[in-house]
Amino acid sequence: MTIQQLRYAVIVAELGSITKAAKALFITQPSLSTAIKELEKEVGIQIFTRERSGVSVTVEGMEFLGYARQVTEPMQSLLDHYFEDAPQKTRFCVSTQHYTFARNAFVNMVDRFGQETYEFILNETTTHQILKDVQNRFCNVGVLYLSEANSAVLTKAIADMDLTFTPLFTASPHIFVHLGHPLCDKESIHLEDLVPYPRLNYIQGVYESPSFSEELFSTVPADKQILVSDSGAIENFMVSLNGYTISTGIHPQQFHRADIIALPLDEPEHMEIGYLLNRGQSLSELGEIFVESLKGFAA
The answer as to whether 229 is a domain residue is: yes
CA-to-CA separations, 231 to 97, 115, 125, in angstroms, rounded? 10, 29, 11
pLDDT tens digits, 199-235: 999 999 888 899 999 999 999 999 999 999 888 889 9
Residue 139 · residue 93 · CB < 8 Å = yes
What is the model's pLDDT at position 178?
A: 94
- Element containing residue 291 per DSSP (H, E): helix 285-295
What is the model's pLDDT at position 287?
A: 94
Domain boundary among 47, 81, 115: 81
The answer as to whether 2 is a domain residue is: yes
pLDDT at 17 over 70: yes
What is the model's pLDDT at position 90?
A: 80
The CATH number of whichever domain residue 52 belongs to comes to 1.10.10.10
The CATH number of whichever domain residue 182 belongs to comes to 3.40.190.10
Burial of 241 (C-beta count, 10 Å sphere; 0-12/13-18/19+)? middle
The answer as to whether 261 is a domain residue is: yes
Tally of domains within the chain: 2
Residues 6+ apart with CB under 8 A from 275: 141, 142, 143, 165, 166, 168, 291, 294
Can you tell me the distance from the alpha carbon of 263 to that of 142, in angstroms, rounded to the nearest whole number? 27
pLDDT at 118 over 80: yes
pLDDT tens digits, 43-87: 999 999 988 778 888 888 888 988 888 888 777 666 666 665 555
pLDDT, average across residues 150-166? 96
The answer as to whether 40 is a domain residue is: yes
pLDDT at 254 over 70: no
CA 160 to chain centre: 20
Can you tell me the distance from the alpha carbon of 139 to that of 236, in angstroms, rounded to the nearest whole number? 29
What is the model's pLDDT at position 26?
A: 83
Question: What percent of the chain lies above the pLDDT cut of 90?
Answer: 58
What is the model's pLDDT at position 230?
A: 86
What is the model's pLDDT at position 80?
A: 64
pLDDT at 145 over 80: yes
The answer as to whether 37 is a domain residue is: yes
pLDDT tens digits, 89-115: 688 999 999 999 999 999 999 988 877
Averaged pLDDT of the chain: 89
The Cβ-side half-sphere exposure at 293, using a 13 Å CA radius, reads 22
Length of the chain, please? 299
pLDDT at 252 over 80: no
The answer as to whether 249 is a domain residue is: yes
Residue 171 · residue 271 · CB < 8 Å = yes
pLDDT at 28 over 70: yes
Q: SS3 for 128?
A: helix
Domain boundary among 29, 57, 81: 81
pLDDT at 182 over 70: yes
The answer as to whether 156 is a domain residue is: no
pLDDT at 16 over 90: no
The answer as to whether 265 is a domain residue is: yes
By residue range, what is the domain housing residue 49? 1-81
Q: SS3 for 166?
A: strand
Can you tell me the distance from the alpha carbon of 205 to that of 182, in angstroms, rounded to the nearest whole number? 31
